[in-house]
């Protein structure tokens, strides 16, 4: 089956530093990937849509200069949280849309970010 991986699975960083999270589709190509954010005991909220070879599309209220997204290949999208602050602590989940026949979306296992 289609597998999406995320790295790292968890990260702890100091306030003011930048953190990069990778999302990879392991056995399929994904022109489009999505980044979601989940606060404790809350639902997933779409942050942005990542498109290979073009700029990401951000949802209203999401700072594009703070959450940098790069989708450099058909199997990799990265989310960089720049100058992280404690309020950025969250669970970040990516998903990738299979470019194949069924166009389905598959979710990664998530990355837990804690900013001290």
Partner 1 sequence: AQSVTQPDIHITVSEGASLELRCNYSYGATPYLFWYVQSPGQGLQLLLKYFSGDTLVQGIKGFEAEFKRSQSSFNLRKPSVHWSDAAEYFCAVGAVSGYALNFGKGTSLLVTP
Print burial letters for 7-19: b (CB count within 10 Å at least 16), e (below 16): eeeebebeeeeeb
Site string for partner 1, 51-80 (x = CB under 8 A): ------------------------------
93 scored as a contact of partner 1 (CB under 8 A): yes
HSE on the CB side for 2, CA within 13 Å? 20
Encoding tokens for residue 8?
Answer: 């790292």
Question: Applying CB under 8 A, which of residues 15, 18, 42, 73 lies at the interface with partner 1?
Answer: 42
Encoding tokens for residue 18?
Answer: 């930048």
Encoding tokens for residue 34?
Answer: 């999505």
d(CA 9, CA 2): 19
43 scored as a contact of partner 1 (CB under 8 A): yes
112 scored as a contact of partner 1 (CB under 8 A): yes
Question: Applying CB under 8 A, which of residues 7, 13, 20, 49 lies at the interface with partner 1?
Answer: 49
Judged by the rule CB under 8 A, the positions of this chain that interact with partner 1 are: 6, 32, 34, 41-46, 49, 93, 95, 97-98, 102-105, 107-110, 112
């Amino acid at each position: 089956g289609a597998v999406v991986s995320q790295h790292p699975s968890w990260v702890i960083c100091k306030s003011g530093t930048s953190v990069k999270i990778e999302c990879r589709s392991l056995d399929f190509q994904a022109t489009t990937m999505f980044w979601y954010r989940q606060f404790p005991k809350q639902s997933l909220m779409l942050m942005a849509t990542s498109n290979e070879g073009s700029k990401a599309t951000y949802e209203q209220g999401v700072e594009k200069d703070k959450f940098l997204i790069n989708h450099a290949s058909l199997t990799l999208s990265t989310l960089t949280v720049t100058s992280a602050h404690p309020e950025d602590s969250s669970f970040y989940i990516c998903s990738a849309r299979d470019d194949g026949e069924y166009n389905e979306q598959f979710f990664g296992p998530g990355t837990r970010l804690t900013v001290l």
